[in-house]
Structure formats: C-alpha cells, structure tokens
Amino acid sequence: MKLQSYSCALRTQNVEESLHHLHLHCPFSQQCWGILNLHVSTNDHAFQVLEHFKKQIHQSPTVQACKAAFKAENHTFVIAREQEIQLFLYKPFRWSNMTK
C-alpha cells in the first residue's frame, strides 16, 4: 500500500509512524497510557515496556481489589460446595427417598 506520507497522523512531530512510535512515543498514546495509569519509558525496548506494563497492571489497586473479590467469592463458593458434599456423603441413605 502506497501512502502520500508515513508521518504521524497527529502531525505534532515530523516522525515516521511506526508501531514503536504509535504505541510508545506518540503523544496521543502516551496520554492514553496515562489515563490507564501506566507509565511508559520510551527508552526501553518494546518487550521491556510490556514487562513494565504487566508489573504495573498486577500492582494496580483496581486489579488487586478484583483479585480479592474473586478470591472471596470463590472461597464462599468452595465452602458451600464442601458443605453440600459432606451432607451428601454422611447423610444416611434411604431407598424410600429414591422412589419419590
């Protein structure tokens, strides 16, 4: 595909629009990362940036709150199922219950 220009679409810089520029250096993408509270080091290699993102995401208060809520809900679910299993296993079996 041949374009007239490969410069950044925002035209704030005279920079060729590459994936690296688009995701890390472009002022628009930097604002987006800022809104998500992710800090980008534009000097790092792309894979290093992804590793930093991963660490920041896992340490964010929102993600921590979601994990805690999931664990609490999962714990409640597991306890309830364990109690049902215990009742089933230790409840005396009666053939009369099967015919109803």
Do residues 46 and 15 both lie within one domain?
Answer: yes
Question: pTM here?
Answer: 0.48
Per-residue pLDDT tens digits of the chain, which is 100 residues long = 676 777 777 766 677 777 777 778 788 888 888 887 888 777 777 788 888 888 887 777 877 887 888 888 777 777 777 777 777 777 666 666 565 5
Number of domains in the chain: 2
**Domain region containing 69:** 60-92
Residue 30 structure tokens: 């930097």
Tell whether 36 and 71 lie within a shared domain: no
Are 75 and 42 in a shared domain?
Answer: no
99 part of a folded domain: no
Spatial distance between the Cα atoms of 34 and 42, rounded to a whole number of angstroms: 13
- Residue 26: which residues within 8 A CB-CB, separation 6 or more? 8, 10, 17
- Could you give the angle at which helices 61-90 and 46-59 cross, rounded to 10 degrees? 60
What is the per-residue pLDDT for 4?
73
Are 33 and 70 members of one domain? Answer: no
10 domain-assigned: yes
